[in-house]
Amino acid sequence: MPHVTIQHFPLDLAPERKRRLADALTALVVQEFGTYEGAVSIALEPVDPGDWAAAVYEPRIAGRPEQLIKAPEYRR
């Protein structure tokens, strides 16, 4: 505990970028949750843009506003 899942449009992140992302997120989670690095897990979950509304936005964002700590501000 804790586990962080990032759902995102498909993006080919180089191993170095993944490492930097994992390091930065881990450091912040450790600091804010008062835990240790070995307790943190992080997953990247690509979601096709055509599936975003049904797979992510409706069930996980619009469907659970009380769990959001930051809501999206999509550009049109």
Which residues are registered as beta bridge partners of 3? 41
**What length does the chain have?**
76
Task: Note if 2 is an active site residue.
Answer: yes
Question: Taking the chain, what is the end-to-end CA distance rounded to the nearest angstrom?
Answer: 36
Catalytic residue among 2, 46, 59, 72: 2
pLDDT above 90 for 57: yes
pTM above 0.95, yes or no: no
Question: In the predicted model, what is the mean pLDDT of the chain?
Answer: 97
Q: Where are the domains of the chain?
A: 3-67
Cα gap 43→7, rounded to integer Å: 9
Residue with tokens 């881990």: 26
| Arithmetic mean of pLDDT, 20-28 | 98
If you average pLDDT over residues 27-48, what whole number do you get? 98
- pLDDT of residue 24 exceeding 90, the answer is yes
Exposure class string for 1-18: b at 16+ Cβ within 10 A, else e: eeeeeeeeeeeeeeeeee
**Which CATH code for domain 3-67?**
3.30.429.10
Asked whether residue 58 carries a pLDDT value surpassing 90, the answer given is yes
